[in-house]
Amino acid sequence: NAGVTQTPKFRVLKTGQSMTLLCAQDMNHEYMYWYRQDPGMGLRLIHYSVGEGTTAKGEVPDGYNVSRLKKQNFLLGLESAAPSQTSVYFCASSYVVGQTYGYTFGSGTRLTVV
Amino acid sequence: AQSVTQLDSHVSVSEGTPVLLRCNYSSSYSPSLFWYVQHPNKGLQLLLKYTSAATLVKGINGFEAEFKKSETSFHLTKPSAHMSDAAEYFCVVSDSQAGTALIFGKGTTLSVSS
């Protein structure tokens, strides 16, 4: 019963480097999300997906790209990392059945950009 | 768009005294509301959720919240604080305009002293 798995759990990048964060879920959820968490800011939505092959921008999308080629995976890319992208990143997935919602979060990826 | 405002960034209580964490929401229709807790360097844990059923919602660890439409509030309470309740608490609303993404408040840090 893996739920939502994020890889890697920790990463240090140099300014200008690129990387991809992987989110994988095994619950057949339609919806997936990427958030970043910064002190005093709560979690802010970066991008989301309502199904395989679809993506949309959230509140803070600049500097990030995403892809959802397979239903179970949602990738977050940083093309040219900046110190302002130092954060903890959380992935989540959800189902919606009528008025019933269920959300599952990953354990987070701590990214430091130096 | 939906949003939530957590009225206190930091709340301090003594062990055994009541806890009140305040949250106001903004929504154009009946929202789904949640409270999540995050212990230091840990992931997110769902405390409780409101989805238009009973207005008084009971959650885990003795927490409960009351949905008050007239006041657009969803305050979190607990009759008696325990040291283990020290954590950050997030009031959250589901945004149907963004693939049912969860929109987080900025958080309230709860400190519990002995």
Per-residue pLDDT tens digits for B69-80? 999 999 999 999
Any A CB within 8 A of B40 CB: no
pLDDT digits (tens, 9 = 90+) for A4-22: 999 999 999 999 999 999 9
pLDDT digits (tens, 9 = 90+) for A42-87: 999 999 999 999 999 999 999 999 999 999 999 999 999 999 999 9
Look at residue A63 in the predicted model and tell me its pLDDT: 97
Look at residue A64 in the predicted model and tell me its pLDDT: 98
Nearest to A96 by CA among B8, B112, B100, B55: B100
Nearest to A90 by CA among A46, A51, A54: A46
What confidence tier does B5 reach under pLDDT thresholds 50, 70, 90?
very high
Look at residue B56 in the predicted model and tell me its pLDDT: 95
Q: Of B44, B94, B106, which has the smallest distance from its Cβ to A101's Cβ? A: B94
E strand segments, chain A: 4-7, 10-13, 19-25, 31-38, 42-49, 56-57, 65-67, 73-78, 87-97, 100-105, 109-113
Check if the beta carbon of residue A18 is closer than 8 Å to that of residue A81. yes
45-84 of A, contacting B, C-beta below 8 A: 45, 48-50, 56, 58
pLDDT of A90 above 90: yes
Nearest to A33 by CA among A62, A66, A7: A66
Tokens matching residue B5: 């405002």
Look at residue B68 in the predicted model and tell me its pLDDT: 94
pLDDT of B107 above 70: yes
Contact list, B44 vs chain A (CB under 8 Å) = 43, 90, 105
Any A CB within 8 A of B107 CB: yes
Any A CB within 8 A of B7 CB: no
Tokens matching residue B8: 């206190």
Look at residue B101 in the predicted model and tell me its pLDDT: 87
Contact list, B49 vs chain A (CB under 8 Å) = 101
Distance in angstroms between the alpha carbons of the first and the last residue of chain B: 41
Look at residue A66 in the predicted model and tell me its pLDDT: 98
* % of chain B at pLDDT higher than 90: 81
What confidence tier does B98 reach under pLDDT thresholds 50, 70, 90?
low
Look at residue B27 in the predicted model and tell me its pLDDT: 82
Q: Do B101 and A107 touch (CB under 8 A)?
A: no
Contact list, A31 vs chain B (CB under 8 Å) = 99-101
Look at residue B61 in the predicted model and tell me its pLDDT: 95
pLDDT of B54 above 90: no
What confidence tier does A101 reach under pLDDT thresholds 50, 70, 90?
confident
What confidence tier does B30 reach under pLDDT thresholds 50, 70, 90?
confident
Burial of A65 (0-12, 13-18, 19+ CB in 10 A): middle
Please confirm whether the linkage preceding A8 is cis (ω < 30° from 0): yes
